[in-house]
């Protein structure tokens, strides 16, 4: 609020200075007994270009039009005075307007128009004293040199600010691109997990139906739940990719979500046990909790893909004051009935390792003694 008020105050002062300088130009011309019409026309064109509110500015009123028209009128005024051989005064208002137009041309005009509009406004300012002296005497040349210095300073400032705007735009674009890549990875993690579950439970349901067994309802309920979660994850992610401002739509997980994840994974032929040590705090950094959730999710997805014969899956979380450890172990022998197309491309663990190491953690995956597979991650935690 203070910053906005400060900018409004500075803007008000600038507007007041421009208007006062413009009034001074008119008074100077009137006091010398010369027509004030050309001066008023140039001033009105320049003040309109500078002071027209942005919120109400029409699309056709482009920066190149705003800079070119007042500069052209000023140049015509100068050329007319020289051709007539009459003396025409100029004042601080027109000087300030033309300098402001140089600034707008360099900072806001499209690249191909920047030089044209900037040179037009600068030339109108440089040759302005000729309308009064009618020649290039020493005083006129001195004014022209001073005008060139002012133009250089203003153009340099505008170019610097334009470079900052460009770098800011590039940084924002790159950040958004990286965020969208991360969101796409999240979409893969969530939807692949749930769709794989749907496929496994559908196969179980088909076997149970062919065998004439009872108890299909829990399996079908699991299919319904996994389908709902997959659609919800897809909807949240697509909502983010459509540039919505609702940050909570991004499908992220935490330690509390691991409980729901393991409960939803369990099936009539697979038992999942979650061991969460009492020492594990609930206020761990969010990025650590999200990474731990992804570890469990990827491990359970791999069980479905590569160890469908597993009957016991154990998820364990422990904390030793400086590190959070997450492990997922199963007793599968590698047997799976999933189609080859459902096995995945082998990039799940690669992406997971990148996520874990980015937080300074370690990821290990390999066979267990006595059979089965274990995935273990260890994260350093700085709770301060």
pLDDT reading at 380 higher than 60 = yes
Any domain includes 20: yes
**Each residue of 150-161: pLDDT tens digit?**
999 999 999 999
Provide the whole-model pTM.
0.50
Quickly state the pLDDT bin for 353 (edges 50, 70, 90). Answer: confident
pLDDT reading at 261 higher than 80 = yes
Segment 274-278 long-range contacts (CB within 8 Å, at least 24 positions apart): 274/315, 274/316, 274/317, 275/314, 275/315, 275/316, 275/317, 276/316, 276/317, 277/316, 277/317, 277/318, 277/319
Task: Say which DSSP state 55 is in.
Answer: G
Any domain includes 289: yes
Q: What is the CATH number of the domain that holds 309?
A: 3.30.565.10
Task: Work out how many domains the chain is built from and give that number.
Answer: 2
Any domain includes 186: no
Any domain includes 183: no
Q: What is the pLDDT of residue 91?
A: 80
pLDDT reading at 250 higher than 70 = no
Among 87, 106, 135, give the residue marking a domain's end: 135
The helix-helix angle for 111-126 and 63-84 (nearest 10°) equals 30
Q: Are strands 271-276 and 312-319 parallel, antiparallel or unpaired?
A: parallel
Among residues 22, 42, 17, 16, the alpha carbon closest in space to that of 121 is found at: 42
Among residues 240, 266, 98, 254, the alpha carbon closest in space to that of 183 is found at: 240
Any domain includes 363: yes
Among residues 228, 216, 290, the alpha carbon closest in space to that of 264 is found at: 228
> What distances in angstroms separate CA 281 from CA 80, 257, 287, 361, 383, one per listed residue?
82, 14, 14, 18, 10
Chain mean pLDDT for the chain: 78
Distance from C-alpha of 358 to C-alpha of 378, rounded to nearest angstrom: 12
Over residues 133-147, the mean pLDDT reads: 82
Q: What is the pLDDT of residue 220?
A: 67
Any domain includes 365: yes
Any domain includes 315: yes
Among 112, 135, 158, give the residue marking a domain's end: 135
CB–CB of 331/312 below 8 Å? yes
DSSP letters, 155-198, are: HHHHHHHHHHHHHHHHHHHHHHHHHHHHHHHHHHHHHHHHHHHH
Any domain includes 368: yes
Neighbours of 46 (CB within 10 A): 27
pLDDT reading at 75 higher than 80 = yes
Among 101, 135, 169, give the residue marking a domain's end: 135
> Residue 315: which domain range?
254-384
Give the ranges where 85-137 is alpha helix by DSSP (H).
92-108, 111-126, 130-133
**Range 138-169 burial, b when 16+ CB lie within 10 A, else e:** eebeebbeebeebbeebbeebeeebeeeeeee
Quickly state the pLDDT bin for 72 (edges 50, 70, 90). Answer: very high
């Amino acid at each position: 609020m203070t910053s906005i008020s400060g900018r409004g105050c500075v803007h008000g002062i600038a507007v007041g200075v421009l208007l006062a300088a413009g009034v001074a130009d008119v008074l100077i011309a009137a006091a010398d007994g010369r027509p004030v019409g050309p001066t008023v026309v140039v001033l009105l064109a320049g003040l309109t270009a500078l002071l027209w509110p942005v919120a109400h500015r029409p699309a056709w009123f482009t920066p190149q039009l705003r800079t070119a028209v007042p500069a052209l009128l000023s140049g015509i005024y100068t050329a007319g005075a020289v051709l007539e051989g009459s003396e025409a005064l100029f004042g601080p208002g027109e000087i300030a307007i033309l300098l402001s137009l140089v600034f707008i041309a360099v900072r806001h005009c499209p690249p191909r128009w920047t030089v044209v509009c900037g040179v037009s406004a600068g030339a109108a300012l440089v040759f302005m004293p000729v309308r009064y002296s009618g020649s290039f005497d020493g005083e006129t040349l001195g004014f022209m040199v001073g005008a060139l210095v002012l133009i250089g300073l203003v153009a340099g400032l505008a170019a610097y600010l334009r470079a900052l705007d460009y770098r800011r735009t590039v940084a924002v674009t790159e950040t958004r691109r990286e965020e969208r890549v991360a969101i796409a990875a999240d979409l893969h993690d969530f939807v692949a997990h749930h769709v794989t579950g749907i496929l496994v439970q559908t196969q179980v349901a088909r076997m149970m139906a062919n065998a004439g067994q009872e108890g299909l309802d829990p399996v079908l309920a699991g299919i319904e739940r996994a389908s709902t979660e997959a659609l919800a994850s897809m909807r949240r992610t697509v909502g983010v990719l459509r540039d919505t401002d609702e940050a909570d739509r991004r499908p992220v997980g935490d330690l509390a979500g691991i409980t729901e994840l393991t409960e939803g994974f369990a099936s009539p032929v697979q038992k999942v046990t979650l061991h969460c040590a009492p020492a594990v705090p609930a206020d761990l950094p969010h990025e650590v909790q999200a990474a731990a959730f992804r570890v469990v999710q990827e491990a359970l997805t791999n069980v479905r893909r590569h160890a469908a014969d597993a009957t016991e899956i154990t998820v364990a979380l422990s904390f030793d004051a400086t590190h959070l450890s997450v492990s997922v172990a199963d007793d599968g022998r590698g047997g799976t009935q999933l189609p080859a197309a459902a096995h995945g491309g082998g990039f799940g663990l690669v992406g997971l390792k990148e996520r874990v190491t980015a937080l300074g953690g370690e990821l290990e995956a390999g066979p267990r003694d006595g059979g089965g597979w274990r995935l273990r991650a260890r994260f350093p935690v700085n709770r301060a």
